[in-house]
Chains A and B, each alone.
Chain A
Amino acid sequence: EVQLVETGGGLVQPGRSLKLSCVASGFTFNNYWMSWTRQAPGKGLEWVASITNSGGSTYYPDSVKGRFTISRDNAQNTLYLQMNSLRSEDTATYYCTRDTGLFDYWGQGVMVTVSS
């Protein structure tokens, strides 16, 4: 059974940093691209970052480019999202997703609140 378990969320002040983690199980982690997708409270979905299976390439939308960094440790089956210079508009539930272009598996999500 595929499982994606995110940790690391919480309340953070604007301008500060936070790092999310996602531990994967139930599939061969290093065979798959992985992504982060977020959902602001009561709003729709927004893709945030993707990383190739080797970790050699990463992709971001303009809204987070230069502030967020996706990375992975294939030995530990773990995906990361380093979020710097956080803004109030980054407040959302962040989901770890397996990425085959579409997102075929989702974690339970972790809440990030950016507020002073």
Chain B
Amino acid sequence: DIQMTQSPASLSASLGETVTIECRASEDIYSNLAWYQQKPGNSPQLLIYDANSLADGVPSRFSGSGSGTQYSLKINSLQSEDVASYFCQQYNNYPWTFGGGTKLELK
């Protein structure tokens, strides 16, 4: 199975700040990586697919990058509505696997 290691597990940042979340795969996943946002009490929602493509309706302050085994999610100019947990997921090989998540809070 492909292991997805996400860091940090938690993050505290100020409004307007830029934050970056990292995800490392245990083997090459050829950019078959998605990022999800889960706001408290809600279902996860797709943010990014194919490592760097923005899902419909996602604000442009979100961006994804990376290749091979290393990927990152960047949020520019943090807004209060970005407080959430974020998960990466690989869909290169079964079983599909997720990172452990990053809980983003406001400082």
Contacts and interface: CB of A to CB of B under 8 A. Distances in A.
Interface residues of A, number: 20
Nearest to B87: A45
Contacts of A60: 95
Contacts of A47: 95-98
B interface, size bucket = 20 to 34
B44 A108 contact: no
Contacts of B101: 44-45
Nearest to A96: B43
A103 B98 contact: no
Contacts of B99: 44
Interface in B90-104: 91, 94-101
B14 interface: no
A95 B89 CA distance: 15
A104 B55 contact: yes
For the complex of A and B, list the 7 residue pairs with the smallest distance between their C-beta atoms, beginning with the closest: A101-B91, A102-B34, A61-B95, A106-B43, A47-B96, A45-B98, A44-B101
23 contacts: A44-B98, A44-B100, A45-B98, A45-B101, A46-B98, A47-B95, A47-B97, A47-B98, A50-B96, A61-B95, A62-B95, A95-B43, A95-B44, A101-B91, A102-B46, A102-B49, A103-B34, A103-B44, A103-B46, A104-B55, A105-B46, A106-B43, A106-B45
